[in-house]
A and B are shown apart, each in its own frame.
Chain A
Amino acid sequence: MSKDDKILKEFTSKEYEHGWSVDFDVDQAPKGLNEDIIKLISSKKEEPKWLLDWRLKAFEHFKKMSEPEWSNLNIPKIDYQDISYYSAPKKKKMLKSMDEVDPELIETFEKLGISLLEQKRLSGVAVDAVIDSVSIGTTFKDKLSELGIIFCSFSEAVKEYPELVKKHLGKVIPAKDNYFACLNSAVFSDGSFCYIPKGVRCPMELSTYFRINASNTGQFERTLIVADEGSYVSYLEGCTAPMRDENQLHAAVVEIHAEKDAEVKYSTVQNWYPGDKNGKGGIYNFVTKRGICNGSNSKISWTQVETGSAITWKYPSCILRGDNSVGEFYSVAVTNNYQQADTGTKMIHIGKNTKSKIISKGISAGHSHNSYRGHVNVLKRAKNSRNFSQCDSLLLGNKCGAHTFPYIDIENKSSMVEHEATTSKIGEDQIFYCLQRGIDEENAIALIVNGYAKEVLKQLPMEFSVEAQKLLSLTLEGSVG
């Protein structure tokens, strides 16, 4: 086989590793968006009335809203009536333990590289897996509950801890916040809930894996994390979806509350199906993520590696309300073929001595477009606040685009804000140096790109970091040469 053939073969075979679908016995709602569907979702989940009312109120508002147009994305018209808003693997009964989980499901997760059973044995990561719209199983529950940590599916939380959910739901991201968050508020089906009590340091990484499996469905999960005073948690989120010709909608919401002295680290490796080489199919990933540093000295840190989705629209943000609170955003976004990404963050400084840091690395290849959009706002009260932002773009090839839109609004004289951005390409001398040592071009680019993104990758927990590096190389395969 010649060198070119080999690369080609490798590329096509690796195009999208997680692109298979499994036929479960699925319980799926009819297509369409209306009050009846919302009532159906709510009754399937056996929800209390207050939550149904909350959903219906969000839906009332949603009907009056229109899709946002300000992003640098070309979003084809989405028919919201042509989507099924609820899909769950059929459950014969309530599961009591992992052993009762459908073996086919477990196999699905093993294909994803997450073995739920394995997780039970290995110490390290507790997993909540959400397939289509429903949380499948949460590992390590017992061990966590000894510490008073609640880590369960959202629907379970609604039943078991209604007061905690009611107190925090929609407080950082109100139902009316934006079009997609509003849609989610009306139709969200499941997700993860996490509560870390006062003074507890969560001893392991908590993790949620999301997967869209059924076709013609959207996924609308909701994650709520509450870190009480002086607590700490590191949370991971991974996503995949099968290859399908049509586009699928994913509109999730993640809300984080960090109380006094609490710290939350939220990491995402997003690998939804990006569509094929000609831009057909792929997930529309419209996600609203926001955290509030409520108490003083609290900290929220977002790390994201975005390699998948046909369209990504997300801005994990921090509201720094408590004095001395800290917000961080580390991002690598890679786009290839016809992918589009418009991502970044908002850092809203309200409290005194608040600090934020933004490190964003965009990499565009093929015909893709990659935009950074950020907002740093230091309000009058936020005396002595600091922000540092570094937003770099790397272009591979001359049919792609890189865009940077930072908004910086400063309203007091004692604060300091610095923003830097560069756009460049991989140096030919760097590639030649690698080639001269016997490394082929694909590997040379993977090496250089991973080096470029290192500052962000090193923020990820170990297991994730390795996976993320692999994903970066996979996404860019076939993009050069």
Chain B
Amino acid sequence: MIDASELKDSVENENDLVTKEIKTKSLKNIAPSFKNYREEYKYTPFIRRIEKKFSSFNPSSDIKNHEEYRELIPDSEKYYIVIVNGSFLKQISSLPVEIEINNYKGLTKENREIFNSTYSKTDDSNFDIFSTINSIQHQNCLTFRINKSTVLDGKISIYNIVDSKNPVYFRKCFHIGKNSKVSFSEKFIYTSHESYFSNSVTEIFMDENSNLNYFTDQNINKNYHYNSINVFQKKDSISNFHTYSFSGAIIRNNLNIKLTEKNCYANMYGFYAIKNSSHIDNHTSVDHIDESSISNEHYKGIVDKDSNGVFNGKIYVRQKAQKTNAFQANNNILLSDSAKVNTKPQLEIWADDVKCSHGCTVGQLDEDALFYLMSRGISRKDATSLLLSAFSTDITDKIEDEDIRENYELMILRELEELNHE
């Protein structure tokens, strides 16, 4: 299914020299990254499933009338970026002046410099076959430059629109300057209800003392989605990631954070509420390379009908990373006998002066609590809703910005109601 000649052609046809170099390197990574597939995709038969749907991994770049896409953006959005089938549509985007967003290929030599140490240098394309393919097949890398000491209130929304029967590749590179603070909220919108596939790879460089909030929500019906976010943090930086997933034939999220200097802080939160035959796979890793950093991870999920929730969290603490504090938890509620949860929290530690812990649970709604609520006159359905939403609040409570929090709380509430409805 991975057609070597097709991939070779993509490398051959690349005109930009730097991009061509990246593609050439990635081509060599195919074999080593494929070696990890068996273990890393133990519970997610991604290749086997999409093999049946796509004859080729070649991307599509057809774009329809821009106005059709603009209609997908709610009026309430202030700042938004529209990307269709991997191409940035500046004309219908609304950008704050503080942020420079451009295609890498369109950058001046001087501006390219800023991204050269990040672009395909910090991703997992030597580890995960889907990132490798993205590195070879993507046509544009969209660069986001946040200058130092830029503090933006509110969020910038990124609309990734998938409108193609062929695979779609999204590629982004962020450079978040020293002392700056910014929030992004990313969405993936498919124009069909099933069988589309998008592959997104993002690299984020966070300079000293920068602060990033990054939200992702995924509700893509029976479509397929691969999303790899790779973060490289310098000292005193703080990152907060929130990933919410509600439906998808297969969604695979990789979130890899490297804490390369002292006093970094990384928070990774996730919530999934899935039903029917949805399959959500969250693979995270946090790599403590230098000392005195803190990482904190909490993923919670409700798994119903024939759905499958997969979680894999890796914590690495390198020899130099003394005084590390790393925490990880994954809690699941199973609502059906045909639903499945596969979870693997994983610790790999080479430093002795550390505090690390992980915990995970798989269980069901607390029958005693349910009974207690019902004994006070609440219907079973409402009591269930109440308990399920209580289960999610640990995660949404962590959102600092009130408007953003309310937005996601409402989103989750709607999804839970639907889950409970059937």
Contact = CB atoms under 8 A, between A and B. Distances in A.
Chain B binds chain A: yes
Contacts of A395: 349, 351-352, 354
Contacts of B363: 415-418
B68 interface: no
Interface in B354-384: 354-364
Contacts, number: 117
Contacts of A419: 345, 358-361
Contacts of A410: 332, 334, 340-342, 362
A393 B347 contact: yes
A421 B329 CA distance: 10
A409 B340 contact: yes
B355 A398 contact: no
Contacts of B129: none
Q: Using C-beta atoms within 8 Å of the partner chain, give the interface range for chain A.
A: 20 to 34
Interface stretch (A103-111, A299-307, A422-430): A422-430
A406 B342 CA distance: 10
A454 interface: no
Interface in A393-407: 393, 395-407
A420 to B, nearest CB: 5
A425 B341 contact: no
A3 to B, nearest CB: 24
B362 A417 contact: yes
Nearest to A420: B359
A418 B361 contact: yes
A398 B350 contact: yes
Q: How large is the interface on B (under 10, 10 to 19, 20 to 34, 35 or more residues)?
A: 35 or more
B259 to A, nearest CB: 17
Interface in A379-405: 380, 393, 395-405
Nearest to B355: A424
B322 interface: yes
Contact of B337 (A393, A413, A416): A413
A115 interface: no
Nearest to A421: B358
Contacts of A123: none
Given A406-B344, A409-B340, A413-B336, A422 B349 contact: no
Nearest to A365: B352
B364 A414 contact: yes
Contact of B362 (A380, A408, A424): A408
A50 interface: no
A416 B344 contact: no
B357 A408 contact: no
B339 interface: yes
Contact of B359 (A397, A405, A421, A425): A421
A425 B354 contact: yes
Contacts of A145: none
A413 B364 contact: yes
B10 to A, nearest CB: 32
Given A398-B319, A408-B342, A421 B347 contact: yes
Nearest to A418: B361
Contacts of B361: 416-419
* Chain A interface, DSSP helix/strand/loop, else mixed: strand
A412 B361 CA distance: 13
Contacts of A393: 347, 349
B112 to A, nearest CB: 40
B307 to A, nearest CB: 12
A407 B313 CA distance: 11
Contacts of B353: 398, 425
Given A421-B359, A422-B356, A398 B345 contact: no
A441 interface: no
A390 B361 CA distance: 12
A402 B337 contact: no
Contacts of B342: 407-410
B348 interface: yes
Nearest to B43: A409
B346 interface: yes
Interface in B225-248: none
A411 interface: yes
A290 to B, nearest CB: 21
B343 interface: yes
Given A408-B362, A413-B334, A423-B357, A402 B347 contact: yes
B335 interface: yes
Contacts of A417: 360-363
Nearest to A371: B348
Contacts of B345: 404, 406, 419, 421
Contacts of B343: 408-409
B352 A405 contact: no
Contacts of A409: 43, 340-343
Contacts of B356: 422-424
A403 B348 contact: yes
B110 interface: no
B71 interface: no
B351 to A, nearest CB: 5
Interface in B373-421: none
B362 A399 contact: no
B16 interface: no
Contacts of A406: 344-346, 360
B376 to A, nearest CB: 25
B352 A422 contact: no
B344 A412 contact: no
Given A408-B362, A413-B335, A403 B352 contact: no
A392 to B, nearest CB: 9
A342 to B, nearest CB: 12
A401 B317 CA distance: 9
Interface of A: 70, 380, 393, 395-425
17 contacts: A401-B350, A404-B358, A407-B344, A408-B344, A409-B43, A410-B332, A410-B340, A410-B342, A410-B362, A411-B337, A415-B334, A415-B363, A418-B361, A419-B361, A421-B345, A423-B317, A423-B355
The 6 lowest CB-CB distance pairs between A and B, nearest first, are A395-B352, A413-B334, A423-B356, A404-B347, A422-B357, A410-B362
Given A401-B349, A423-B354, 18 more contacts: A70-B39, A380-B337, A395-B349, A395-B351, A397-B352, A403-B346, A404-B347, A404-B358, A406-B345, A409-B340, A410-B334, A416-B361, A417-B362, A420-B357, A420-B359, A421-B358, A423-B349, A425-B352
